[in-house]
Amino acid sequence: MRLWDKGLAIDKKIERFTVGNDRELDMHLVEYDLKASKAHARMLGKVGILTSEEVGAIEVELDKLQQQFESGTFEIEEDFEDVHSKIEFELTKALGDTGKKIHTARSRNDQVLVAMQLYFKENLNEISEKTKELIDVLLDLADKHQEKLLPGYTHLQVAMPSSFGLWFSAYAELLIDDLYLLEAGLKVVDQNPLGSAAGYGSSFPIDREFTTKELGFSTLKYNVVAAQLGRGKCERTVTANISSVANTLARFAMDICLYMSQNFDFITFPDELTTGSSIMPHKKNPDVFELIRGKCNKLQSIANEMILITNNLPSGYHRDYQLIKENSVYAVENIKEILDVFIHSIALIKVKDIDLQDEKYKYLFTVDSINDLVMQGKSFREAYQVIGGQVQDGTYKAAEGKKHSHLGTKDNLALEEIRRKKDDV
């Protein structure tokens, strides 16, 4: 049942330790290993290692396994180390010696590499699409609420006038930066490693350009040692890119938790999106966004874990690489769920009317007052001292807030420009 089995017994305790939870994790890789196996079989047929009849028979059995996977009946039993040994066993059971030939000119190393990179490639695209969907929701909210003023803060002190439009579109544009990184990550994983075998290539006359086209990779990782060294680099890159998205969402979630509190009272959500207290009947807790914040902070730690496990490994394969599969898959699956929940929840936000005559917002317009004096001919420093003096002696009275007309400010949000930036990614 083991791809490396030489007929020798193995200590069961050691076997359990080395297999770990690969069987569970590999359910995320089934369709990608099937796809790669089919491309590999076709390539072996092209170069004359398999006959056309053998290729056809292998493809039929791989399609059956794909149907099992899609119907939810595919299972990696405890007899198997991983998805790769399971698939080869099923081919051998159905086809005998023909099934055994599927491993010709490849290693479990490049099997794992290609399955993981296909998994990352598809999911980075999905994460990008979900991120774009969230950006669109935020830009729509910014457009809807662009006239509603919101106190801006620095050092958590009342600072200058902002708006809900500015707040929503700020996070929309930050997420575009994350799209740039996701796109860069896609370029890293979109390089075919299949054919690198155990990391030093093969003496078989394989055609790596053929499998590159078959699998839909943009290019291949030409150097076989570089392909093997991509194990770890791909995971570091993908989890770092996901970490950037998570950082943006964690900061946004923190704003939401803050703004929902009674001391700020800027926003609220429908009751069905909040939770209560077991002893305080008045509580309306933003648990969804607290969990998003916590989960996103956890995701940001994973990129560091990838570095610590892989940064001092010499070239070639090492079993340490097995340890990076779990949390890289965890990062991918969790950021998708977080984005789904965020999109669903933020669309239901309720923006409140804020009474800017409240005493705590008394100095919200001091900078506008300084600028009024500058426009009347005073130097900025002199105007600053005049308004500063009024603040100190308690005589400051805010004038009506000025329009902020330059591009990207509260009265000129540049929403269409931000949309175009998003569409260009």
Please write the tens of the pLDDT for every residue from 95-140: 999 999 999 999 999 999 999 999 999 999 999 999 999 999 999 9
Query: Of 18 and 313, which is predicted with more confidence?
Result: 313
Query: Of 357 and 75, which is predicted with more confidence?
Result: 75
In terms of Cβ atoms closer than 10 Å to its own Cβ (0-12, 13-18, 19+), residue 277 is exposed
pLDDT digits (tens, 9 = 90+) for 205-242: 999 999 999 999 999 999 999 999 999 999 999 999 99
Please give the model's pTM, rounded to 2 decimal places. 0.92
Q: Domains in the chain, please, with CATH?
A: 12-101 (1.10.275.10), 108-351 (1.20.200.10)
Beta 191-192 vs 219-220: how paired, if at all?
parallel
pLDDT digits (tens, 9 = 90+) for 49-96: 999 999 999 999 999 999 999 999 999 998 888 999 999 999 999 999
Assess contact for 102 and 40: CB atoms under 8 A.
Answer: yes
Beta 219-220 vs 149-154: how paired, if at all?
unpaired
First to last CA, the chain: 45
Query: Of 5 and 247, which is predicted with more confidence?
Result: 247
Assess contact for 44 and 13: CB atoms under 8 A.
Answer: no
pLDDT digits (tens, 9 = 90+) for 377-415: 999 999 999 999 999 999 999 877 788 999 999 999 999
Across the chain, mean pLDDT equals 92
Q: Where are the alpha helices (DSSP H) in 145-223?
A: 164-189, 208-214
pLDDT at 244 > cutoff 60: yes
Contacts of 143 (CB under 8 A, 6+ apart): 165, 413, 415
Question: Which pLDDT does position 85 carry in this prediction?
Answer: 92
Give the integer Cα–Cα distance in Å for 110 and 321.
Answer: 13
Contacts of 165 (CB under 8 A, 6+ apart): 142, 143, 145, 146, 147, 148, 410, 413, 415
Assess contact for 115 and 33: CB atoms under 8 A.
Answer: yes
Residue for token pair 């097995």:
322
Q: Hey, CA dihedral for 45, 48, 50, 54, is it positive or negative?
A: positive
Assess contact for 78 and 34: CB atoms under 8 A.
Answer: no
Spatial CA neighbour of 401 closest among 367, 375, 378: 367
- Give backbone dihedrals phi and psi of 376, rounded to 5 degrees, phi first: -85, 0
Assess contact for 275 and 285: CB atoms under 8 A.
Answer: yes
Per-residue pLDDT averaged across 341-354, rounded? 96
Burial 364-394 (b: 16+ CB within 10 A, else e): bbbebbbbebeeeeeeeeebbeebeeeeeee
Give the integer Cα–Cα distance in Å for 232 and 316.
Answer: 12
Question: Which pLDDT does position 4 carry in this prediction?
Answer: 42
- Strand, coil or helix: what is 192? strand
